[in-house]
Each structure stands twice: as C-alpha cells, then as structure tokens.
Amino acid sequence: MAGRIVILGVFVADTAYRAARQPRMGETILGRSFALGPGGKGSNQAVAAARAGGDAHIVTKLGRDTFAEMALATWREAGVTPAVTQDAGSYTGAAFIFVDEASGDNAIIVAPGAAGTLTPADVEAQAALLEGAAVFVTQLEQPMPAAIRALEIARAAGVRTILNPAPAAPLEDATLALCDMVTPNESEAEALTGIAVETLEDAARAADALIARGAGAAVITLGARGVLVHDRSRSVQLPAFEVGPVVETTGAGDAFTGAFSTALAEGRDLVEAARFGCAAASISVTRPGAAASMPTRAEIDALLG
Ligand code: ADP
C-alpha cells in the first residue's frame, strides 16, 4: 500500500527560449524557438511523483492570475492534489530558461512570486497533511524558514524527509540533520561541501561530508553518469539509462527526486528507489519541457523490465 507524498515547493511558468548562445549585456539575438509550460522544482517533482504512480500533494502559494490557472490545470491533469492558497496581491512565479540548442543544457532565472512569501505559519496550517505522509519532499526555491518548519513537522511525525537542495544555498548542519535523504546534483553537492565533484570518488567524499554534517543519506545525481547512492553502510553508483538522444535536461533532477519519492512511498529500498528515479529521469531528458517530460508509470516500468 503506497503512502502519501507531500511536496512543499514552488510552481513557476517556464518561458523557455532555445538559441545558439546567450545574449551579451545590451545585445539582442534571434532565438530558434519559444515554449511556455509549467515548471518550478516543487511542482515538477509533484508531477513526476504523480505520473510515476504516487499519491502526490503539493503545498504552495500562487497568485490569482493566468499562470495560477496553468498550475491548477497541470496538477489536475497529472493527478497532483493541491494544498494551495492564492494571493491576489502577488503573482504566480515565472522563470526565464535559456536552452542551448546544441547541447540541451540550460541557464535559468526564477521569480517565485507568491510562493516566495511562504512562511512557517503557512506550513503549520498544513500540519495534518504533512503528518499523515509517508514521504515529505522540499527544495530551496521557497523561503528557508518554511522549508525548515516543514522538515521539523515531518521529522517529529516520523515521516521520511527528502531535501533536494536546489537551487544551491548555504544550509545549517541542524537543517541537514532534519533530512533522511538529500538529493543534490554535482554542483549543488560542491556548493554544500566545498568538494568539486568530478569523479565518483569526489561524489563519495561529498556524500560523506553531507552525512557528517547530519544528513541520513546522500543521493547525488551525476547527469549522464546516473546517480550515487551513499549512506553509512554502502556507496552504489547506478548508471543512467540510454533511452535515446538527449533533447533537454530541464527538470531531469526533478524527474529523479519525484519518481524516487514515489518508490520510497511504496516501501522500496533506497537503492531500488534510486534506480526507479534514475529510469524516470533518463526518459525525461529525451523530451522537451520540464513537467511535460515526466514519464508515466507504464513507461518507467517498461524501461526497468
Ligand atoms: P539536474 O537536472 O538537477 O542538474 P542531473 O543533471 O544530475 O540533475 O540529472 C538528474 C538525472 O537525470 C541523472 O541522475 C540521470 O538519471 C538523468 N540524466 C541527466 N542527464 C542525462 C543524460 N544525458 N542521459 C541520461 N540520463 C540523464
């Protein structure tokens, strides 16, 4: 019996521009194409969790505008249950995404809008939802005090806690100590530990540093090299799956964390859950968009065989 997954995070409308390169200051260049779609790490992770078969709930704040309608429609279609307040005096978050047309790599500016005003009191208003979860997930796009309060409530209720420390920001040891698992990518692991993550050995050292600072386990995503699952008793590298040409890596980390949460909520072991997340993320990079690229349960199961 799968348990509830509660995700505290941010929705933003992604405005994605594909171009040969980024413009220099003062310069205007012509892009190859434009796409508008749902994004935000918290929302993407909730969509990834739900499409992977999880009972996903999102706690966040929106404005009362066109992009809020996009958020609610996105969650309805994906099967995510919103626990959301709407603030008419603010706006729904939006993001500028530059996509390199040759490599598919991206560079992003996020304006979180109403979700940027999430407070510990907003989180406490959802305490019952949080306490009834099997897995709680958050990131660092909303204010840190709200994330910390939610981690405290979840931890006190015995809920498994996952922090995807993105975008990178300094963290207190006390915050890491509230996390059963952290899921940084290579650059976020480096920002948190000061260890440049280039080799697998570097990743293992960074994971040890995160555990020494209080995290229960570190699951470091390594792009095309897959993921390193590292806790006090094991260090296992799971390769990415070769599904097809890489189209766009936006949301790859979110696909991983979302699907990983679904597998954990089903009671799977850490390594098995990471393999499931890795399969979902490997599919997501072969498609354009962030939320739109999240695979279904049937697609993930078919890849895992
Ligand atoms: P982020 O999107 O946070 O930067 P990563 O780049 O580490 O995260 O990617 C997250 C996951 O997405 C990886 O662990 C892997 O499973 C998958 N992935 C990323 N890039 C590729 C790729 N080029 N080929 C296959 N899978 C990939």
Note the pLDDT of residue 1. 67
Rounded CA gap, 263 and 151, in Å? 20
CB of 282 shorter than 6 A to ligand 1: yes
Nearest CA to ligand 1 atom 21: 224
First-to-final CA distance of the chain: 22
What is the number of the ligand 1 atom nearest to the C-alpha of 250?
2
Task: Quickly count: other Cβ atoms within 10 Å of residue 26's Cβ.
Answer: 5
254 is a catalytic site residue: yes
Ligand 1 centre distance from Cα of residue 107 (Å):
15
CA of 282 to the centre of ligand 1 (A): 7
Any ligand 1 atom below 6 A from CB of 171: no
pLDDT of 112 reads 87
Distance CA 186, CA 31 (A): 29
Residue 185 Cβ < 6 Å to ligand 1:
yes
Give the atom of ligand 1 at the shortest distance from the alpha carbon of 104. Answer: 23
Tokens encoding 137? 């997930």
| Token pair of 159 as six digits | 């809920």
- The pLDDT assigned to 289 comes to 80
Contact (Cβ atoms closer than 8 angstroms) between residue 13 and residue 36: yes
Residue 138 near ligand 1, beta carbon < 6 Å: no
Separation of CA 269 from chain center? 20
**240 in contact with ligand 1, CB cutoff 6 A:** yes
- Position 105 scores a pLDDT of 84
Q: Which residue has the tokens 């997954």?
A: 5
279 lines ligand 1 (CB under 6 A): no
- Nearest-Å Rg of the Cα atoms of the chain is 18
Q: Which residue among 105, 231, 254, 301 is the active-site one?
A: 254
**Residue with the nearest Cα to atom 1 of ligand 1?**
253
Backbone angles phi, psi at 60, to 5 degrees: -165, -175
Specify the residue with its C-alpha closest to ligand 1, atom 15: 226
Atom of ligand 1 nearest to the CA of 242: 25
Specify the DSSP element, H or E, that contains 201. helix 200-212
Q: What number of residues does the chain have?
A: 305
Q: Quick: pLDDT tens for 41-78.
A: 999 999 999 999 999 999 999 999 999 999 999 999 99
Separation of alpha carbons 284 and 295, rounded Å: 6
Tens of pLDDT, residue by residue, the chain (305 residues): 689 999 999 999 999 999 999 999 999 999 999 999 999 999 999 999 999 999 999 999 999 999 999 999 999 999 999 999 999 999 999 999 898 999 988 898 889 899 999 999 999 999 999 999 999 999 999 999 999 999 999 999 999 999 999 999 999 999 999 999 999 999 999 999 999 999 999 999 999 999 999 999 999 999 999 999 999 999 999 999 999 999 988 899 999 999 999 999 999 999 999 999 999 999 999 998 888 899 999 999 999 99
Q: Indicate if ligand 1 lies below 6 Å from the C-beta of 147.
A: no
For the segment 276-305, what is each residue's pLDDT rounded down to a tens digit?
999 999 999 999 888 889 999 999 999 999
